[in-house]
Structure 1
Amino acid sequence: MTPTKLLIGQIAVVCAIVIIGVWTATQWCAQMLTYQTPLGAPWFLFAGWPIYKPWKLFEWWFHFDAYAPEVFDKAGTLAGASGFLGCAAAIAGSLLRARQRGSVTTYGSSRWATTHEVETAGLLRPAGVFLGRLNDRYLRHDGPEHVMAFAPTRSGKGVGLVVPTLLSWTGSAIIHDIKGENWQLTSGWRSKFSYCLLFNPTDPRSARYNPLLEVRKGPDEIRDVQNIADILVDPEGALERRNHWEKTSHSLLVGAILHVLYAEEEKTLARVATFLSDPQRSFAATLQRMTTTNHLGTGHNPQVHPVVASAARELLNKSENERSGVLSTAMSFLGLYRDPTVATATSSCDWRIADLVDGERPLSLYLVVPPSDISRTKPLVRLILNQIGRRLTERLEGDPKKSRKHQLLMMLDEFPALGRLDFFETALAFMAGYGIRSYLIAQSLNQVSKAYGENNAILDNCHVRIAFSSNDERTAKRISDALGTATELRSMRNYAGHRLAPWLSHVMVSRQETARPLLTPGEVMQLPPSDELVLVSGLPPIRAKKLRYYQDQNFTDRVLPAPVLRDGPYADCPASRPDGWTGQVCS
């Protein structure tokens, strides 16, 4: 029904209510006065009952009020009540018309979510990661789905999203903490119930992690070593396809790592670098040594590892110049581990990947790298995250025989700075089934596109998206499109008449349905500093307020001094686990 028809119907209903009310009062008054002759002749008879004209009440009231004041007072009250009832009907009709005007969906039906819808979606429960505030209540997500936030620098993503979440999450967590701020603010509270480890390969006091000791001896060793080599030959995460030198150096690194694990006392990436560039022998002699070492056999029945022998023989069959080029390429990928501080940080394991989900207590791992060393140490951080992601998605969480003790949260602030992690992009689609949640934060869509390409699946696999006021037009346009389009009714008035007339003879009002984005890109870029947008799949968008942990006593009470780092063995670490390689040396 159109608004015009509703208006006509509204007027008709109001008039009918008033007429019926007055007519009823007239008939009641006539009955009380026993239909006396002075009342005049009835309008007509209905089933023997005299029916008077509705307005007769007012004539009788004027002439006979002095003779029956109580009757006319009650009749007047009855007639007046019909007027109030008509007003109520008019208000109800206006509300109905306004509601219909607001529910027009010709061009789209986008709108903001109501508090009831947000509560029904479970976003106001007292558990989960923090998204913001809504009507002075915490907005949280406790589902297994991933969260993605677009927040420019200095917009409050740390104080509003990262810190509140880390000060409430009681499971294991991996925190990409470039400046170390989150360690200072949250590690004190988290150390009360979890192992708190700071991994900073540029700090001698750092917790140590040796990627090679996560290689599982046996049927899985080849794929584990190949995964390590994949990251080593793509330190920036920018390769779409490898050239000849990178492919050949990848094969060399796989063979060299396996040889070091089986034959060398020091089983580290630093040792792989020194083994390949040993000044005491030529590269050809090094390759020859790889083909003659007893990796798998016994003293009476020596046996070379077939993958090691194959990698070495492949290079021995090449010319010296080509071998030199392959070695130079491989050594360029291992240059980071020649740094003594980095070599120390990767010399052994103070924690193992299994400790994240199956340890006696949860484990909080802070990946802290000074901004000055981000580019240099990126390959190592990428290697750690890649190993964790691949290892923890090898068995389903639902296996009752292998249930995990702790949920894992990957809080990756500025995650595009890590470069493209192919496995991570793919794994987002199924990580949730393994008890792993990701909380990804980027400054803009351009950052994500630069690292993962235009047609990436990062946003597609994030069930919850948070957007602050954007400084980037492309991000603002993407957010505006995601909010959707609403349909509005716009009124147009046309006035007709003589310009000198005291009034206009014609006023015509027409209403037209038009499409309008819920927020235009410009409005997204002009969001107040206190506002944010939360988009949850299957729910209308939410316009919420930002959190500020320092304005909330629930969080400030949990900000405790960070654990003191000292030289020597790391203090707060889980019990060591066997690795299968320590102590094995072959000749």
Structure 2
Amino acid sequence: MQSWSSNLKRVLKEGWPLTCVPIILYSKPILNHIIGFYEAYALVCFLPGILSLIAFGLYKHDKISILPTIMSILCSLGFGSIFTYSVAMQTLIPILPHTLHEVLPFLENTEFKWIFIAISSPLVALLIIFHLIKFGMESSKKVKQEHAQGSARFATEQEIKALHNDSGLPVGCLIKGKLSTDIDVLKKEINTKASQEIVRLNPHHMVLVAPSGAGKGVGVIIPTLLDYDGPVLVTDVKAAENYHVTSRRRREMGREVFAFDPFNKTGNPSDSINILNFLDKNSKEIIDDAAMIAALFVPVPTNVSGNSKHFYDRARATIQSLILYVVCSEALEPHDKTLLTVYKLLCLSGEDFREMLSQIAEDEEIAYGQPARVAASLLSTAPEEISGILNTARNELGIFDSPLMQEVTSSTTIDLNKLILNQADLFLCIPIEKLKAYSRVIRLIVSMVFIIAQKNQTCLKKPLLMVLDEMALLGSIPAVEEALVSGRGYGVKILAVAQNLELVQKFSPDTWETFLASNLLVFIGPTGLKSSEYVSKLLGQSTIEAVSKNKGESQQKGQLRTSLTSENQGESQSFQGRPMLTSDEVRFLGDDTVIAFYKDLRPILLKKIKYYIHELWQRKFGNNPLEKHNLVN
């Protein structure tokens, strides 16, 4: 930063005060002739100051300090007052001649006076234009240097307000005013300048990354569920926290609230859903729907290939054909058309299983003949290979050995059509310690809801909001992954939540960077190394001004053994690039900080919402089984 004295020298060097002198000399007679004596006197007196203010307004990015600006205006006004008074009153000023005619006697000739004014006025204008161009070029050059290594910054308050959408998702609290570039000051400003004004954004999808305990539920998930007036599907993996806090509010909004809760985390009887009830045996899409269910139950691990992958593929085809057989066969009672029945068929003994395959192979009318073709293929397969296929299929459907899972999948009390009609919500309450084993059922329900929403998106008054907490632990869900990668809605808005970037990458190894770039990306208190480094890179690089001082000494020796020593010192200025925030500075900001990235806009810095103390959500939330701040509502 340059000193005020050097700035003052530069301002005086630009010639603003001197430029004002000829303006005053030659504009007064013209103005006096046109508008009158007193008006001309007043205008000319203040004209230099006005011009100075305009000039500094045009080039305020030059960062000239306020003191030289004031000095320039005062200097200009001083010249203006003295010369204007001299011209107007023709009185003796100690530092000036008695009249201008004594200095310029040729002005006695009136005709020559007007010719002189007419010629000199354009010269004065050119002088002013010259200074403007020169000053502008120097300022532009300096601005380019200041941004040469990067121009990263946070979005301004006005830019954030321009993005705000009243029907959007709550992301954080607006921080008022200009933000400091000093990390210690910035952290204080997040607390001191933060307001209660909620910033809402309305992207197709949102990815929320926050470590355990950072407050992703407190800051985003729960405020969203307390507000959103469309249908929601929520994976509730922490003691049914979201259900306990928001279900009362959702019912007050006139909605029916379903809870798929096999482990009784809500304290109420669980609703149930038999996915096979949603397959239409008269639809040609039933083949694809059955294949989707089989693929979700039998995901192929990324490290599996060759012969091992072959068994997974054949197991999928076998499950698909048995699903079609169970749904379409007239030999089975309606209450037997369940995934448990499919699992029981897979567990038949060798002879009984081959007999069943023979029966299926003979009936080519069922499900467009797909089960018959697969059954015939299995009958011609070596017993050892069939054993490997069946073992793979049985392992993947082994969750139906659980009486709890049998109970919640044997019938349907959850009406998915009500979600589409914006009449109901669905909470999938599987505790996180059970999520790995039962993630297949969650993936299946989420995918089925997604497909139904896609098929009926014209009926959706508002997008179905899917809040997928701990999405990486759910495993790959192709429909969700495709929507996140494309950034499109399909009648569904996704709020995908993960603890860190490593888990995001695990969810979608090949496309994770693409879907992070395609959607609103929000970080709350990132502490992991990869997450903080990623945030630092996304924030970009800024340019800082570096001043280095150097000191030198030289010595000369004469013939008489005398020496002369001279000392010199100098100062050099350069512009260097640095990350707007380094990874350790990102971590230093703490859990109360929200950093959001949205498309090609400047990064957004907000303060984390705390729904339980914000006036907007008072008397709307229920008790949180995981928190101590259960206030009376």
Measured against the shorter chain, the TM-score band is 0.7 to 0.9
Deviates most, 327-336 or 35-44: 35-44
Are residues 1:439 and 2:495 paired?
yes
Offset of 1:527 from its aligned partner? 1.2
Query: For 1:145, which of 204, 225, 236 is the aligned residue?
Result: 204
Find the counterpart in structure 2 of residue 276 from structure 1: 346
Q: Distance in 2 between matches of 1:421 and 1:445?
A: 18
Deviations 1:193-244 (A, max 9, x none): 2121111233492111111112122211111111111111118788688712
Q: Distance in 1 between matches of 2:518 and 2:196?
A: 23
Do the aligned partners of 1:469 and 1:529 also contact (CA within 8 Å) in 2? yes
Q: Distance in 1 between matches of 2:214 and 2:141?
A: 37
Once the two structures are superposed, the pairs formed by residues 286-297 of structure 1 within 5 Å of their partners are 286-292=356-362, 296=365
Higher helix proportion (structure 1 or 2): 2
Q: How many residues align?
A: 499
Do the aligned partners of 1:102 and 1:488 also contact (CA within 8 Å) in 2? no
Query: For 1:160, which of 219, 239, 242 is the aligned residue?
Result: 219
TM-aligned CA distance change 1:38 to 1:198, over 3 Å: closer
Q: Distance in 2 between matches of 1:36 and 1:386?
A: 92
Could you say which structure has the greater relative contact order, defined with CA pairs below 8 angstroms and 6 or more residues apart? 1
Q: Distance in 2 between matches of 1:139 and 1:24?
A: 53
TM-aligned CA distance change 1:481 to 1:19, over 3 Å: closer
Do the aligned partners of 1:145 and 1:462 also contact (CA within 8 Å) in 2? no
Offset of 1:492 from its aligned partner? 2.4
Offset of 1:97 from its aligned partner? 6.7
Offset of 1:447 from its aligned partner? 0.9
* AA partner of residue 357 (structure 2): L
Are residues 1:216 and 2:280 paired?
yes
Do the aligned partners of 2:287 and 2:367 also contact (CA within 8 Å) in 1? no
Deviates most, 264-273 or 404-413: 404-413
* AA partner of residue 539 (structure 2): L
* AA partner of residue 316 (structure 2): H
Are residues 1:334 and 2:374 paired?
no
* AA partner of residue 247 (structure 1): D
Offset of 1:247 from its aligned partner? 1.6
Once the two structures are superposed, the pairs formed by residues 20-419 of structure 1 within 5 Å of their partners are 21-22=78-79, 25=82, 28-29=85-86, 32=89, 44-48=103-107, 104-121=146-163, 123=164, 125-135=165-175, 136-179=195-238, 180-192=240-252, 193-203=254-264, 205-218=269-282, 219-234=284-299, 243-263=309-329, 264-265=332-333, 266-278=336-348, 282-292=352-362, 296=365, 306-358=369-421, 361-394=422-455, 397=457, 402-419=458-475
* AA partner of residue 222 (structure 2): V
Find the counterpart in structure 2 of residue 449 from structure 1: 505
* AA partner of residue 166 (structure 2): P
Q: Distance in 1 between matches of 2:249 and 2:98?
A: 93
Find the counterpart in structure 1 of residue 10 from structure 2: 8
Are residues 1:543 and 2:605 paired?
yes
Do the aligned partners of 1:236 and 1:378 also contact (CA within 8 Å) in 2? no
Do the aligned partners of 2:345 and 2:353 also contact (CA within 8 Å) in 1? no
TM-score (norm 2): 0.71
Offset of 1:129 from its aligned partner? 0.8
Q: Distance in 2 between matches of 1:319 and 1:34?
A: 122
Deviates most, 133-142 or 480-489: 133-142
Find the counterpart in structure 2 of residue 521 from structure 1: 583
Q: Distance in 2 between matches of 1:553 and 1:37?
A: 70
* AA partner of residue 377 (structure 2): E
Do the aligned partners of 2:420 and 2:460 also contact (CA within 8 Å) in 1? yes
Deviates most, 11-20 or 508-517: 11-20
Q: Distance in 2 between matches of 1:432 and 1:138?
A: 29
Give the 3-state SS of the residue equivalent to 2:397 in structure 1.
Answer: helix
Q: Distance in 2 between matches of 1:442 and 1:286?
A: 44
Offset of 1:9 from its aligned partner? 4.5
Deviations 1:43-70 (A, max 9, x none): 62254369xxxxxxxxxxxxxxxxxxxx
Indicate the percent of aligned positions where both proteins have the same amino acid.
25
* AA partner of residue 13 (structure 1): G
* AA partner of residue 174 (structure 1): L
Q: Distance in 2 between matches of 1:557 and 1:102?
A: 53
Give the 3-state SS of the residue equivalent to 2:400 in structure 1.
Answer: helix
Q: Distance in 1 between matches of 2:459 and 2:514?
A: 28
Give the 3-state SS of the residue equivalent to 1:167 in structure 2.
Answer: helix
Offset of 1:31 from its aligned partner? 6.5
* AA partner of residue 338 (structure 1): D
Q: Distance in 1 between matches of 2:241 and 2:288?
A: 36
TM-aligned CA distance change 1:19 to 1:151, over 3 Å: closer
Deviations 1:88-133 (A, max 9, x none): xxxxx9xx97995598221111111111111122x2x433211111
Do the aligned partners of 1:290 and 1:312 also contact (CA within 8 Å) in 2? yes
TM-aligned CA distance change 1:278 to 1:455, over 3 Å: closer
Q: Distance in 2 between matches of 1:447 and 1:158?
A: 18
* AA partner of residue 410 (structure 1): M
Q: Distance in 1 between matches of 2:479 and 2:367?
A: 32
TM-aligned CA distance change 1:239 to 1:205, over 3 Å: farther
Could you list the runs of 5+ residues in structure 1 that have no partner in the other structure? 51-92, 297-302, 499-503, 563-587
* AA partner of residue 471 (structure 1): T
TM-aligned CA distance change 1:533 to 1:476, over 3 Å: same
TM-aligned CA distance change 1:288 to 1:549, over 3 Å: same
Are residues 1:428 and 2:494 paired?
no
Deviations 1:376-422 (A, max 9, x none): 11111111112222333346x4xxxx432342111112111111223
Give the 3-state SS of the residue equivalent to 2:426 in structure 1.
Answer: strand
Q: Distance in 1 between matches of 2:90 and 2:319?
A: 114
TM-aligned CA distance change 1:39 to 1:221, over 3 Å: closer
Give the 3-state SS of the residue equivalent to 2:571 in structure 1.
Answer: strand
* AA partner of residue 400 (structure 2): Y
Give the 3-state SS of the residue equivalent to 2:227 in structure 1.
Answer: coil
TM-aligned CA distance change 1:422 to 1:208, over 3 Å: same
Query: For 1:488, which of 530, 539, 544 is the aligned residue?
Result: 544
Give the 3-state SS of the residue equivalent to 2:519 in structure 1.
Answer: strand
TM-score (norm 1): 0.76
Give the 3-state SS of the residue equivalent to 2:502 in structure 1.
Answer: helix
Do the aligned partners of 1:549 and 1:555 also contact (CA within 8 Å) in 2? yes
Q: Distance in 1 between matches of 2:377 and 2:146?
A: 71
* AA partner of residue 476 (structure 1): S
Q: Distance in 2 between matches of 1:387 and 1:458?
A: 24
Offset of 1:532 from its aligned partner? 1.9
